[in-house]
Every structure is written in structure tokens, then in C-alpha cells.
Amino acid sequence: MIPSSYPGADEMARLTARMLLEIRAVHFNAAEPFTLASGLPSPTYIDCRKLISFPRIRSTLMDFLTVTVMRNAGFEAFDNIAGGETAGIPFAALVAERMGLPMTYVRKKAKGYGRNARIEGAMSEGQRVLLVEDLTTDGGSKLSFVDAIRDTGATCAHTAVIFYYGIFAETAKTLDDHGIRLHHLCTWWDVLAEARESEAFDAQTLKEVESFLTTPRTWQEANRKD
């Protein structure tokens, strides 16, 4: 069933942040920072993969993501929903089910045997594809997936994620230069606001997280371990 009537973007962002905190998908630790995929430190980490184990929250967020995409991009804007390996695959399947569309997924790299394909499932030339992932940090990882989709002759001008870091200035330009529009449910700022409201973490931790979110590159340089 395709959802059509849901809260506005601000309320969906607040509720999404609340759900992520409730299932303990949000981790803050300034004393012993996490290491991001880039190798840089961060006092924040989010594990959206946990969502698949919580049916009520999972269902609500997939409704939110579906209606966000339809409101922003159009109700008949897509022909195929593609998930990025691996975290995006279950969410792409759930969005595709709601939109009544075919689902495919994109490998990070070709298998190296058989068809040596990066696209699994049926994707054809001219199809308008929505790329679904769990999150995006600076947008860079999306480009390879989008290029693989475009190599089939399909088009991909939109990507949808549950969580967007929302703190790196270069993200918008990276995606825009590649012809990609980002749709998301919430950011670190939404999570920080809800964490303060619910007193999910102590005041000093939240202060340090806010420092990172305000000037992330400066914080990372000051806290990196070479």
C-alpha cells in the first residue's frame, strides 16, 4: 500500500531521530572516538542496520521514506528501486513494495565471475531508477552506485536515505555535480536535538558532539591519531 498522508518533514525528522535513539542505533563517545570509513575520527556513530530487527519502527520509517520521495520527486517519477550493497538492499525492497515497483540491487564491485555484473535483478535502458541506501556521510559512496546504474542505460537522478550526516559542506556539491538529488529523513542535528530533549546522554557528551557537528573537519584534525 502506498502511503499518501503523513506528517510534515520536520515532524518526520523528529520522530525518526526518536526511533533511532530508542533502539540504540545512536552512539556518542567523545573520550574514545569511532573511526569512520574515511579513517578519520568521530564522536558519533549510527547503525541504521539495526532497524531491520524492529518491525514497527522499520515499517513506519519506510512509510516516511516513501512518502518523502513521492512528495519531493513525484508520484510517478520512478520505474525501478535499486538498493546499494549491502545496507541499502532491505530498505530498497521495502520501498519498492510500497511503491509497487521492481527492485534491484547494485554491487560495490563486479563479482569477477559468471556475468561479472554489478546490477542484480532486471534493470533496462531508459528506466528511471531511485537509489536507496541506509545513510550518507559526504555523498561520495553514492557516485559509484549511480554510475553502475547509468551504465545500463537507465537514468538515476535521485537517492533516498534514512539518515544524512548533514554536517559536511561539500556533500551538496558532490551530489549536485553528479546530477543527483538527495532525499533524507533526519540528520545529526535532529538526533542531537532529540537526545537533549530526552536526556539520552550526559551534558558534557552532548556538548562535545555539538562541537564536532559545528566544525567537523577541525574536530577531526584535533582528535586524529596518526
**Cα distance between residue 11 and residue 147, in whole Å:** 33
pLDDT, position 3: 65
Alpha helices, DSSP H, located in 33-102: 55-73, 88-99
Domains of the chain and CATH, by start: 9-219 (3.40.50.2020)
- All residues at 6 or more sequence positions from 12 whose CB lies less than 8 Å from its CB, including other chains: 6, 64, 68, 185, 186
**Cα distance between residue 30 and residue 181, in whole Å:** 32
| pLDDT tens-place string over residues 126-173 | 999 999 999 998 888 899 999 999 999 999 999 999 999 999 888 989
- All residues at 6 or more sequence positions from 158 whose CB lies less than 8 Å from its CB, including other chains: 69, 73, 77, 78, 130, 131, 180, 181, 182, 183
| pLDDT tens-place string over residues 198-217 | 999 999 999 999 999 999 99
Secondary structure element (H or E) that encloses residue 174, with its range: helix 170-177
Q: How far is CA 93 from CA 42, 52, 133, in A?
A: 31, 12, 11
What average pLDDT does range 6-28 have in this prediction? 96
What average pLDDT does range 67-96 have in this prediction? 96
Q: What are phi and psi of 132, to 5 degrees?
A: -110, 135
Confidence of residue 120 (pLDDT cuts 50, 70, 90): very high
pTM here is 0.93
Mean model confidence pLDDT for the chain: 93
